[in-house]
């Protein structure tokens, strides 16, 4: 709950296909809620695997996000197949979210009032892949289909994408940078700078 532990991210995580061989993922630097509602800014929310063409971001409970990051950062790569990888992500995130909800119940709280943590993944596995897992373990696999977002800036990001996708004479990176900026500027408790990474078969790089 707001103003109490566990700490929360108020977040924009977005992903978009840039080309047939690259994907983009972005995150704001925003605000972590703390006891007393004191904002802590400049949080780097994107994570990448130590050697694989794999990057991700979480929105929600920071404890869950940090524990998921630790697991994801060292998993063997490549997986046997993409479905196996998706299932492992969903199972791990669901287990971590379940532990938080279990503790809420033990403390006399309502586990259904715990927002939980969502996940957005971009990876190169034979082709560009975008994967979303919600806080209840529900999986949505998008392949490299267009654009997706999670977090408090999600709805505004979709509106911004619908606007900028028709722009002519603009690179996909510039469109993505523009829509991420609009969502960050407009959504509650999101803040600059926006970090954008590129995932290709060769790995993960920071965009200029």
pLDDT value at residue 90: 97
| Mean pLDDT over each residue of the chain, to the nearest integer | 88
- Distance of alpha carbon 12 from alpha carbon 108, whole angstroms: 31
| 21: number of Cβ within 10 Å | 14
Contacts of 70 (CB under 8 A, 6+ apart): none
Model confidence over 64-88: pLDDT tens digits? 999 999 999 999 999 999 999 999 9
Query: What is the phi/psi pair of residue 54, to 5°?
Result: -150, 125
Prior bond to 109 cis, omega within 30?
no
* CA 90-204-39 angle, 5° bins: 70
Which position has the higher pLDDT, 146 or 2?
A: 146
Say whether pTM exceeds 0.75. yes
Structure tokens at 82: 């993409």
Structure tokens at 200: 């290709």
**Which strands make up the sheet holding 12-19, listed edge to edge?**
147-151, 12-19, 22-27, 195-200, 203-206
Residues across the chain:
208
Q: With contact defined as beta carbons under 8 Å apart, do 150 and 13 qualify? A: yes
Model confidence over 196-205: pLDDT tens digits? 999 999 999 9
- Distance of alpha carbon 155 from alpha carbon 107, whole angstroms: 33
Q: In Å, how far are 103, 113, 121, 126, 183 from 108, measured between CA atoms?
A: 9, 12, 34, 47, 36
3-state secondary structure of 199: strand
């Amino acid at each position: 709950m707001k103003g109490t532990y566990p700490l929360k991210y108020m977040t924009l995580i977005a992903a978009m296909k840039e080309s047939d061989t690259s994907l983009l993922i972005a995150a704001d630097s925003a605000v972590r809620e703390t006891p007393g509602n004191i904002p802590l800014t400049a949080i780097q929310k994107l994570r990448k695997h130590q050697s694989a063409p794999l990057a991700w971001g979480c929105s929600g409970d920071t404890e869950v996000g940090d524990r998921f990051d630790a697991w994801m950062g060292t998993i063997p790569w490549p997986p046997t197949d993409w479905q196996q990888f998706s299932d492992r992500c969903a199972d791990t995130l669901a287990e971590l979210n379940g532990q938080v909800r279990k503790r809420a119940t033990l403390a006399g709280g309502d586990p259904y009032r715990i927002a939980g943590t969502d996940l957005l993944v971009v990876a190169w596995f034979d082709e560009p892949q975008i994967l979303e897992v919600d806080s209840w373990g529900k999986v949505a696999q998008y392949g490299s289909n267009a654009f997706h977002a999670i977090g408090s800036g999600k709805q505004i990001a979709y509106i911004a994408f619908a606007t900028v996708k028709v722009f002519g004479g603009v690179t996909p990176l510039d469109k993505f940078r523009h829509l991420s900026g609009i969502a960050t500027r407009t959504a509650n408790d999101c803040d600059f700078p926006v970090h954008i990474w590129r995932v290709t078969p060769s790995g993960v790089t920071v965009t200029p």
